[in-house]
Structure 1
Amino acid sequence: MCLIGLEMQSNCVNGGKRFANIRLQKNSNYQFIDNAFVFQIISEVDGCPPPPDILHGQLRGNKKQKYSPNETMEYQCDNGYYISGSRTITCLKKQWSEAPQCRANVEKCGRPPSIENGDIIDLLKDEYKSGERVIYKCQRFYNMEGNAAVSCQNGHWSDTPKCIVPCTASQEDMEHNNIRLRWLGKDELYSTDGDVVDFTCKRGYSPAPSSPAFRVRCINGIFEYPRCIRI
């Protein structure tokens, strides 16, 4: 029989095999596997208390009473403040790595930048306080890539979105490749980036041996047209 106690040495016997002078800690996890005595000491000595609070910011996620070594937590700042230092802290043997600070955004921004094939839907001003934002929109048939909301952050605007050009299935291009739109009775079609369009051969034509597929996806404003040849 093995007795486990704080700073206790035990002589354990299992299957006729004796394990002498094994020092075990209180609350150790242990078990017998294939006549071998296996144990793992779970130490609370190296753990960390709850992470420190910071002014004008908070932790992401829920706090715990105890954290294991190498466990990490992340901070975020309130609106109008930016993070100074690493937003992630790590439990390092009883204490946390240095927590960041949240500093006030005090610098202002000028007019927000314009974007190609897009507009700002808000009324423009000559000056914006830190934390203020504007909303962009793309022209018809253009897809937006990125966040429509752009904010003033400590004198600088955050990244602006891009308006991705649509694909145009023009009558000229279709005539050149002897194809037409399969389902739509139109001479021209605008398709947003990522959309799929079906083509078919004109009457009296059949697919060319080396033709791309007749179901075509719009990619960055370009259709890879299929081709047909006269029967």
Structure 2
Amino acid sequence: MEGTRYEPAYRNLFSPGETLTVYCARTSWISTPQETSIVTTCEENGQWSISPTCREVTCISRKPEHVKYWGVSRWRSMKLDETISYSCQEGYKTTAVNKRAKCTRNGWTPNPLCEELVSCGTPPPLKDGDIKYSIETQYSHNERVEYQCQSRYTMEGGPNRTCINGEWTGHMRCLEPCIVNEDDHRQHNITLKSNGSRYFSHDEIIDYRCARGIPVGAIAMRQRCNSGVLLLPSCQ
């Protein structure tokens, strides 16, 4: 084979007990796929203890387990260091960062080319909220759950969390409403401009007026509810 070298060189006949060292090219193997050189001995029966023949490193073209797309023809042998693109079956992910398999002396790498996607357990709770439907103990990769906030709370982000390979992804939180406190209003000499609800959602605008007197201080008579926090103006 091209690139094969023998020591001693230029000899065709060997007596029993004599040895021959065989060196193969970088892309070849002898005895095992990991070896590129061996020492073989001429035996009494005229045969070599190890066949002094170098073979090219190749990888089988058969599609590996759990692979969906396999970028090599059935009749083609891939050579050492050649790469091909591939994809995995549903429920599995590629273990190669660049989604390419490489032919090596140990076969296709990485090994395995596909690994099963991990399921998720019970989704995490949401403060001041709940999962919209019944909760399961196990969820598949890419499965989603939908959340909702408790009455009068406002959802920020969401509403879904998704199981991604064993981890729940997605972020949301429930923002508190602002509650009108009549005692606080009396202390500040203010009242609502409209006789509406005692509850205001996050980010909702609230207009005040003086119950008596005139506005004083730096806090404006129009305020915005901020997750349960509401600044109160004053009148005198």
Q: Give TM class, smaller chain.
A: 0.5 to 0.7
Map 1:1-231 → 2, pairs under 5 A: 85=97, 106-184=117-195, 189-202=198-211, 204-208=212-216, 210-229=217-236
Amino acid at match of 1:151: T
Amino acid at match of 2:147: Y
Is contact 2:122-2:136 (8 Å) kept?
Answer: yes
- Mapped to 1, the partners of 2:178 and 2:199 lie a distance apart of 6
Q: Determine the structure 1 residue equivalent to 2:57.
A: none
Amino acid at match of 1:190: Y
Amino acid at match of 2:184: D
Q: Secondary structure at the match of 2:145?
A: strand
Instruction: List runs of 5+ in structure 1 lacking aligned partners.
Output: 1-54, 58-76, 87-101
Q: Secondary structure at the match of 1:175?
A: helix
Identity across the alignment (%): 31
TM-score, normalised via structure 1 length: 0.52
Deviations 1:125-182 (A, max 9, x none): 1111111111000011111111111111100111331001111122122112110000
Change in Cα spacing, 1:103 to 1:157, as seen in structure 2 (3 Å) is farther
Change in Cα spacing, 1:157 to 1:213, as seen in structure 2 (3 Å) is same
Q: Determine the structure 2 residue equivalent to 1:37.
A: none
TM-score, normalised via structure 2 length: 0.51
Change in Cα spacing, 1:161 to 1:103, as seen in structure 2 (3 Å) is farther
- Mapped to 1, the partners of 2:68 and 2:174 lie a distance apart of 35
Is contact 2:122-2:138 (8 Å) kept?
Answer: yes
**Aligned positions, number:** 138
Specify the structure having the higher radius of gyration (Cα): 2
- Mapped to 2, the partners of 1:152 and 1:105 lie a distance apart of 14
List, as ranges, runs of 4+ consecutive aligned residues in structure 1 with deviation greater than 2 Å: 77-86, 102-105
